Amino acid sequence: MDYTQSIPLNVALLIILIPLVAVGIYYVKLKKSEELWKFALEGAGDGVWDWDIGNDIANFSTQYKEMFGFNDVDINTSIKEWNNRIHPDDAASMNKAVNDYLSGKAEKYMHEHRVICKDKSIKWVLSRGMIVKRDKHGKPIRMVGTHTDITARKALETRLENLAHFDALSNVPNRTLFNDRLKLALSYAKREKKMLAVMFIDLDLFKEINDLYGHETGDIVLKKVSRQLVSCVRESDTVARMGGDEFVILLPIIDHEEDVIAVAHKIIESVAQPIKVAKTHLHVTCSIGIAIYPQHGKDEKLLVINADMAMYQAKKSGKNQAKFFEEAMLH
């Protein structure tokens, strides 16, 4: 019996069309779902990316491109081209975070890094993503995610970091940061059997300037002296303000005591130069105490105490000079 003869044409067409319509509806719904998902993410201010891992192609939302100052004419879909916009200092850690997630070493992908914008400015982003498709062997073949602009948050963190570790007036490291650096330098010196030096500096005649011209003028003097001290040392050295008119300098690596004497003389000459404030030329000098590891102390606290003691001896002996710590100062 020929069953095709017994099925009306309209019924046969329905049998053929219904599955096709169902598939079409499914893909329309899927497309609509993805569009709604992307719309929701962009509504939060995030830029959305969609990475075809196998073909190394990425699609980026309009919000994503605009975040960095680009448009469709400026870019293509190559993920490599976009990765080239990652700040060089952050590229290795970002690639590691992605690879760890794709290989299963990490449960999620989340990474903070800098991106170079079209105008060459830098933005910090929080990048997050997840695998949404795998092949039959379980290998990731599609990943989607977002970039959130966190530049303002990073700037705030930097300001808070500066408040915690830098002197607000002079912008040089404060006591906390100095102690941290001294601890690290001392660990290195002990391990490598090297010498380091701590210099304790107190300004002479500063109290008189403060009393005569006021604290605002005194603050200007402290700022200028701070800059002078920084100019007298190496980039690897640390100038810190302990408070008031007291400063400390860490020379983390020295070969000879004569090296420290040379730096001390340079500082004394520099600080003694007239400081112009408004139409007035002010004069300060400084007294310096020096303690060297390991001769004058084997821990951070003792080195600073002994350098401070030597400074007071320099001040007591006539000011405007430097003195090394000596055991006799203890008596």
Run of H or E residues at 86: none
> What is the Cα–Cα distance from 6 to 1, expressed in whole angstroms?
9
**Residue 330: predicted pLDDT:** 79
> What is the Cα–Cα distance from 164 to 158, expressed in whole angstroms?
10
How does residue 28 score in pLDDT terms, banded at 50, 70 and 90?
A: very low
Q: 44-164 and 166-330: same fold? A: no
**Residue 73: predicted pLDDT:** 74
Each domain of the chain, given as residue ranges in start order, spans 1-43, 44-164, 166-330
Axis crossing angle, helix 215-231 with helix 257-271, rounded to the nearest 10: 140
Structure tokens at 230: 């920084």
How does residue 7 score in pLDDT terms, banded at 50, 70 and 90?
A: low
Tell the CATH topology of 166-330: Alpha-Beta Plaits (3.30.70)
CA torsion 262→267→272→274, rounded to 10°?
130
Q: Over the stretch 107-139, which tens digit does the pLDDT of each residue have?
A: 999 999 999 999 999 999 999 999 999 999 999
Least Cα distance to 110 among 89, 91, 125 occurs for: 125
The mean pLDDT value for 70-89 works out to: 81
> What is the Cα–Cα distance from 280 to 227, expressed in whole angstroms?
19
> What is the Cα–Cα distance from 27 to 48, expressed in whole angstroms?
21
The mean pLDDT value for 272-289 works out to: 91
Query: So which residues are the catalytic ones?
Result: 245
The mean pLDDT value for 65-81 works out to: 80
**Residue 1: predicted pLDDT:** 46
pTM, entire model: 0.62
Axis crossing angle, helix 215-231 with helix 206-213, rounded to the nearest 10: 140
Structure tokens at 305: 């105490």
Which CATH superfamily does the domain covering 44-164 fall into? Answer: PAS domain (3.30.450.20)
Q: Over the stretch 177-211, which tens digit does the pLDDT of each residue have?
A: 999 999 999 999 999 999 999 999 999 989 999 88
